[in-house]
Amino acid sequence: MSEQKPLEMCGPHLTCVSDEVGVAKCQKITEAPTDHSGESKDPNFCMARRHEYEVAKEKGSLGIAQMYPECDAGGYYAPRQCLPGTVCYCSNLMGERIFGLALTNEYQDCACARDIARIQEFGFTGRLPHCLPNGDYDELQCVVRTCFCRSHPETVFAMHKMNDSACFDPKIHIFDPEGREGPRYYMKDCELQRAKIEVQIAEAELEGTKMIVADIPTCDPDGNFAPIQTDFNRLYCADQNGNQIETYEAEKFTAAATGMNCYCARAKLLLSNSATGKPKCCSNGNYKPWQCIGDTCFCVNSLGQQDTSIPQVYVDDRHLLDCYPPTDVDPEDGTEPPCVYE
């Protein structure tokens, strides 16, 4: 396959290629763009994965939870990707998961999450726009003590008057002029806690001392607590308010802490009021490498996507899956083997 030509020549999901005699034609993108040596640059290219899905569907061999990759017009990953029947998350062009999570029946454009991810790639760590938990832009934005609504950026107003604006939402935004520790506007609990610690560190440096802080909260682009938080000698999965989700945790510097992402814990929490089945999580909040839907079990990757290179099996045969951890416990007695961390 020759190097791809401009998208405008053919249209969405199509590329312009030339045959042996130089006749050009438009055809569906089924693999990643090639470099000058003719080698494919990315085996995980979105349209290549979609082609695999369509071939499996035509053959009748689709996995029970096989993910349909959403691709943009150029064949790269679209901002929103969905795990069938569970949750949708935001991704970058290469399909890597970024901030932003929602139920499959909820609207989600991930525009804010994508912009934040691109900015952070350049190492910027300053104040950034607020996203919503699903990765969309928050309509209300504040810079220092001045705020505006994104749909009307030309109209600005003082932070202490944000509750009078058309884009103020009491379910989302903080407005507490009579807070116990003083007026609170806009900033979420995680941001406030982190800001206080950063001020203390800066003040200590001015006095010529170095302040050591063991646990600084990590905040997401929506201002809430990130999924992984630290507490002395352990990491734990947290909800948006910083509270531990069930008992999902891992001791620092252990195999369970390495690669800990809490994706399963957060998905399970979001699905708590849903009638659909809940994913199985490891003790550290990651997806168990094997999952079941009804009487069918299958292997998944760290994102919870079905690994279709490993055949799915009947539930009673789940111990035959390559991803099912070895155990001395008889799987037929109702117990499940623990996750294995390597």
- Structure tokens given for 180: 């116990």
- Mean pLDDT in consecutive groups of 10 residues from the start of the chain, 342 residues: 55 65 66 61 83 94 96 93 96 96 97 96 85 98 93 93 95 86 85 88 81 86 97 96 97 94 98 88 96 96 95 95 75 68 71
- Looking at residue 334, what is its pLDDT? 57
Interacting residues of 183 by C-beta distance below 8 A, sequence separation 6+: 160, 176, 177
Residues 6+ apart with CB under 8 A from 67: 53, 81, 82, 83, 84, 305, 306
- For residue 21, the model assigns a pLDDT of 66
DSSP string, 265-281: HHHHHHTTT-SSPPPPB
In the prediction, which pLDDT does 342 show? 66
In the numeric block, which tokens belong to residue 76? 């790269």
The whole-model pTM stands at 0.86
Give the residues across from 134 on adjacent strands: none
Tell me the C-alpha distance between 68 and 81, whole Å. 8
Domain positions in the chain: 1-63, 79-138
| Helices marked H in the chain | 46-59, 111-121, 189-206, 263-270
Which residues share a beta bridge with 320?
Answer: none
Give the pLDDT confidence score for residue 211 in this predicted structure.
Answer: 77
Q: Which whole-number Å values give the CA distances from 281 to 159, 251, 284, 293, in the listed order? A: 41, 17, 8, 14
What's the token pair of residue 114? 């994508």
Number of CB atoms found within 10 A of residue 249's CB: 23
